[in-house]
């Protein structure tokens, strides 16, 4: 068995092939870093693979607005 070379997963649940994949149901558009990755790596909001090594996916904050208001 070869050593894990990426080491990006805190829970060590990944392997080298899956290390940069986002969690099930998550996309780059859900990430707080999306604008950076869109500009530098050409990512689309629907992508599910991170190129920002080590994986830097961080859930984007969702701001709740009172009903009936628009941003």
Instruction: Report which of residues 21 and 68 the model is more confident about.
Output: 21
Q: pLDDT tens-digit profile of 19-60?
A: 888 888 999 999 998 998 899 989 999 999 888 777 788 898
CA distance 1 to 47: 30
**30: closest CA among 15, 3, 50, 14?**
50
CA-wise closest residue to 56 among 43, 68, 66: 43
pLDDT of residue 41: 86
| Predicted local confidence at residue 20, as pLDDT | 84
Q: How many CB atoms lie within 10 A of CB 20?
A: 20
């Amino acid at each position: 068995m070869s050593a894990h070379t990426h080491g990006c997963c805190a829970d060590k649940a990944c392997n080298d092939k899956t290390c940069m994949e986002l969690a099930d149901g998550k996309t780059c558009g859900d990430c707080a870093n999306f604008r950076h990755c869109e500009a530098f790596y050409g990512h689309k909001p629907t992508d599910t693979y991170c190129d920002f090594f080590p994986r830097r996916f961080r859930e984007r904050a969702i701001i709740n607005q009172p009903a009936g208001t628009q941003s």
